[in-house]
Amino acid sequence: MVDGDECYALSFLVVLAAGKGRIRRILLHPVRVVQLRVRLVNGEERQFLARTMQAKCASCETSRLFHAEIGTMMVG
């Protein structure tokens, strides 16, 4: 059971874009979960998530680009 008064987290809403039977692109929409509701993040939270995701992608040798507040990962 999740406690709605205590549950909040920064995360990403993940959208997979497919073509020709395979994943071509992964879109990352930065969000905050508060009291079991999902909301887009503000500027500071967005910057924090972008920096964090960039570091994680770099450690896996995966490129990631944020444009118009949405992270995009191309799948080769």
Enumerate the domain spans of the chain. Answer: 8-74
Q: Among 30, 24, 29, 28, which residue's Cα sits nearest to residue 74?
A: 24
**What DSSP state is assigned to residue 64?**
-
In sequence order, the β-bridge partners of residue 9 are 33
Which positions of the chain have pLDDT values less than 50?
1
Amino acid identity, position 19: G
pLDDT at 12: 85
pLDDT at 57: 75
CA angle 26, 10, 65 (to 5 degrees): 35
Q: Quick check: pTM over 0.75?
A: no
